[in-house]
Structure 1
Amino acid sequence: MGRADARRAQKKGGRPERGGGKAGKKSGIRRFFTWKMLLAYFVAVIALGAGTFYALYLYVDVPKGNSAAKLQSNIYKTSDGKTIARIGEVNREEVPLSKVPEVVQHAVVAAENKNFYNDPGVDLKGTARGIVNTVMGRGKQGGSTITQQYVKNYYLDQRQTVTRKVKELIISLKVQDEKSKNEILEGYLNTSYYGRGAYGIQAAARAYYNKDIDKVTLEEGAYLAALLQAPSQYDWATATEAGKANAKARWGYVLDKMVEQKWLPADERQRMTFKEPGKPKAALGLSGQNGYLVEAAKREIIRDLAAQGRKESEFAAGGWTITLSIDSKKQKALEKAVKDQLIDDLDPKSREVDGHVQAGAVSVDPKTGKVVALYGGQDFVQHQISNATRADYQPASTFKPIILASALQNESKTQDKRPVTPSAIYDGTNQRPVVGPGGGGYAPENEDQQSYGPITVQQAMNDSVNSVFAQMVVDVGMDKVKKTATELGMKGDFQETPAMALGAMGASPMEMAGVYSTLNNHGKKVTPSVIKSATQGGQEFSLPHAVGDRVVSRNTADGLTSVMTQVVNDGTAKVVASGAYQVAGKTGTSDDNKSAWFAGYTPDLVTTVGLFGEAQGGKQVTLQGTGGGGRVNGGTYPAKIWSAYNSAVFGDDDEAKFDLETEDGYAPPPPPHTSTGTPSQGKSATPTPSGKSQSASSTPSSNKSPSKDPTPTGGKHTPPTPPVPPTTNTGTATGSTNTAKPDPNDNRPNGGRQQQLP
């Protein structure tokens, strides 16, 4: 090829080949992916996106602000359709920005959007992240500016869709052009939700500090600003300990950001202390039990909204009709039982302690998981903390069945490697040091410092022997016991120590009703729900199932039911025994007598009753002397309330029998003189026939009268097997300090050394 040909080839885009060949040509798909073509595609996409956005910008108008005008009441009904409350009329009073102290304005901006005064009104990165989260179904949106939040509050709704997010972006840009920063901030402060039904910062100031916003201090304003992140969780009156800690941390974060923005001197910040807000005032129409029922339903709806990635402001905005699962007949019966058995016995004018008594109760249908009756206190207007759902008092010995359930579920063994079953023998000596990993020498007192010597787990449950269950917690493993507790329905925010045996953690009657309902329901998880159905704007709201999967085996659950029938027939809960229907249950009394419990159930109904000593300011105090008596045990007022309630509900229904299938049920007492030395922790007093709970032996364990019902678990029993004395354990795995030999001339069980609680 000559030079002229080469120049012509270059002009045509070709390139001469070596050796005089023809210029190469690209073929196939490579022709479309040259760097020039890729650049062209990129520019085209950008242009298309810009054009689309511009078209949307022209198409989307700023709508009229009307979301606030659509706020409605929420209606609450009982299961039979009776309306008990209409709550949620708009609690909002618009105020001009000039009435909001500048330091409070700065607190809100520091908390929500510190660059608000200089930003373009939108957060493109956060919006893009929110769109991706929505498309991926992750629920929570990305970050938003104050302008975007104002647009969402005032012009749009809370739905989480890509379309709404794009509209929010476009409208925010337009609002940014049309309104000043002060106008936007004023609108945001007046439309945001702060909890306690308060829309707008003026209503919030009244709800939390009972003052107008122009009288609010910076410390108070910082708390109001902190509430915007999580109104219910940070409400000091109802927050958990973790919620209070988070609220204080958020309060500090707000002030620190103000220092960062030069709105607050650092030395002034250091001198500031957190001021607790006041208690909420009851809304009209919430007197008696209505307020407690409404609050329980409200908490459930907010919880379920959060589980769906939605905000509680959707509920506060109104338009809901909530039908409670409350049965009017059972509700009246529960209220009457508390009045007749407790309130009528109190005289606060004569006895100070009588003014400190708070009662709470929850009654659940274990087959559906629905709450059919609830008692939160004498009057919601006077005492707005619900005793039915509060979890700040110890459940005491009502926790002991959970320990045995964990032992059966995990096939645990004692320190000398013998199975932990209801018939296993433990050392019931008072203040016996716990042996094994994690025991740490813990040596709890038994009630009235009674010593029992060798005792079956069954009898230890009957008489609530602390020393036995403290050892059992270590034998099973404290981590395993806690795991079983959470699986059965407890919150699980407690320490793993041997003191678990005494129920040394917080729990509510609602929680314990869930635990015992799960046992009654043969091990299927029951999460009590007070809501039968809910609609929002006429559309059905999806509720979670109150009854879930099996969390412990039927053998374990039914075994505990069988064991607890004897607590009623021959133990601390005799007062609730009925000749008409079967009862299983457990008493509980905290060691300082600040709480007393009875958690019990029939085949068809689970009810927990708790009494709590609460002085002014929420201080926990003893119940000692209530009603002019002595110590308040679970077998006194709580059990009497339970019995009166169930008697009114069931009458003489003698068909209610437990349907049990278990190899680990009720263990008959051992014969006298079963041990001459240190008791074995794991010997079986009487083998239980495989597959079924065993009926009572004719040999009593003490001077107590025999059980009235020889077949406490509903008739599914094999004939009793004659007692077989256990082999004496010559080891010292229990670490017993009680080595006294029984008196051979004393014909009582264990030579008179084994004592029983009344």
Structure 2
Amino acid sequence: MKKFLLILFLLFFTLSFIFPMMLYKWYTSRIEPPQNKVPASLVVEYSDGTPLYTPKTVWIDFEDIPNLVKDSIVASEDKRFYQHSGVDLIGIARSFFVILTTDSIQGGSTITQQLARTLYLTTERTWKRKIKEALIALWLEQNYSKNEILELYINFVYLGNGVYGFPAAAKYYFNKTLEQLKPVEVAMLTATLRSPEHANPLEELNADFTKTVLRKMMNEGVITNAEYENALETLSSEHARNVNIAGNMFDQDLFWMVVVELKELGFELGDLRNGFRVRTTIDKNMQTLLNKNIDKTKMAGLIIEHTTGRIRAAYGLGITSGRRQVGSVIKPMYYYLAFMGGWNKNDILEDKPITIGTWSPQNFDKEFWQEVTLENALIYSRNVPSVNLFMALGQSKVKNFLKNTLMVDGYYPNDATLALGTLETSLVDVAKGFEPIFNGGIVIRPRIIEYVKDRNGVIYYSYKPEILNVVKPPKDFEARTPVEASVLTMQLMEKVVTMGTGKSANIPGRKIYGKTGTAEKNAWFVGGDGKYLFLLVKDGKDLTGGRDVAPVWREIAKNTEIGYIPISLPVSKKMPSTEKKQVEEETVLQPLSPVDEESISIPDESISQTTEKADTEEDIFNRVRSKSITSDELLNVLKTMDSDKQREVLSRINEIDPDLASQVYTKLLGGGEF
């Protein structure tokens, strides 16, 4: 009998003490530190570092958490928090009793257990999970102080709508910091713990749970009777139910532009949610201007730096992938080609009725001027003369120039209506078509991401201009360089704004270059200066770019620096001419901003001996192919050349090594040499 009792005692001792200890040691030996389990979120920022949208996980140190928040949580969720060792036996007994009498799983989890569930487990309501939860809770209590556990809980507990932690929830639901919350708002967040998706402050069920929390807060002395009564009155009022989440709203289209570009750069969104920080190129002030002045259901706007490709603001539909007919904003793109081909501003174009196949193009005013100069044809956006120019250049050549030189993607019609902008494309692609006109011949890929860092500050991607193409005059269009053609085109676009169809965009005291566009279902204005391109489009019928879009463009632009930054396109003082088309005296170009032409012909003394030996362009290109020349050496070589030659050489380098070309181009921009 004694032997039996001894065996029974040893069995009881093993089951009661040794086995649980072994289970605890075995299970907890594999637990990661809670800091590694933080449900962090991808942070997206404006160019100045401020949040583009509120991240859904925000950390606040324990000493900075208001006592009202701490005490409310303890009073409501676990009033014996500072007495138990992670598992509340009284709570477990109550839970066990409910299970036996109702066949349902009842809560009874301590704050520590809830933290264990949030960081390590699922929400399945089973005894297996309860055992794991208890083991992890005991481990947390063994390794962290009560204040550290409460700090982790307040920062990481789930509060609905993808929001983790009270600091982020305060911002998300009330647009406030924790310090700014009133007792009723703290109670509303605490009540959310009961059912985060169904009882958060945006749901009606929250009110009933909040009353329970407020009563517990009063009973535990967290708030006074007067504060309790006042909170109940506030809760029942319409004002308290109007939860302010306006400060958390963000432009989803803009956010997904970031996501798409991240994927293009090789990032997976799921990985980036682990605390990565994405700094965008978006200027907060410019973005705010677009947000406030544009109805995104009817309009879309894009502001971009044409020398770097940085997108500074984007709002509305169809920024990167939409398709709208571009109307007459297409005209400067092939006028640019015409100037490279030797056409002059004073050349005469016919403005008489014509028919091409079954199509008879009309001017907007339904009138014909008989003859018009090329200059006035663009300034006043005359359709018929522009079609005549388009046909003289060659339909296939213009189409090829737009697609393969200016890199404008989209749906192209297979007829001459292309001359009047039946091309359907996105705002980003229209911007690509204008970039080389404004910067002298470089097509840069528009980008919205400045850099990507992980939570430790390690940089995974950093922006640099990506050259898509360097404009080279097509065969039979080599009378002028791209830079010279840019200056001529810009001179006309300046007059579009000062005296032509774009007068409504004119801002006194500023120099703006622009073009209107009108299509069947939308209207455009594209304008810019020495740094920015600002594209604005409005959808609808019976619209015109000059009447319906240019005034809105002006109201937005006048609150920016657009128009103050001069164009700087240095060209030779003596323009080339051809036998077919003699350049008129008034079209001989001077630099739009002063350039010391002698200085660009003097070799830089810092050129290395190795570079000096590469005394022919072919030597340079061979060294690029063999990767035996650095970007700094190339930079020094390019500094000895004028602007046109720089673009010519850079074009060849870009064909051989696009990455090296981007590095050199970035350095040229940084030094103001380009």
TM-score norm. by structure 2 comes to: 0.48
TM-score norm. by structure 1 comes to: 0.43
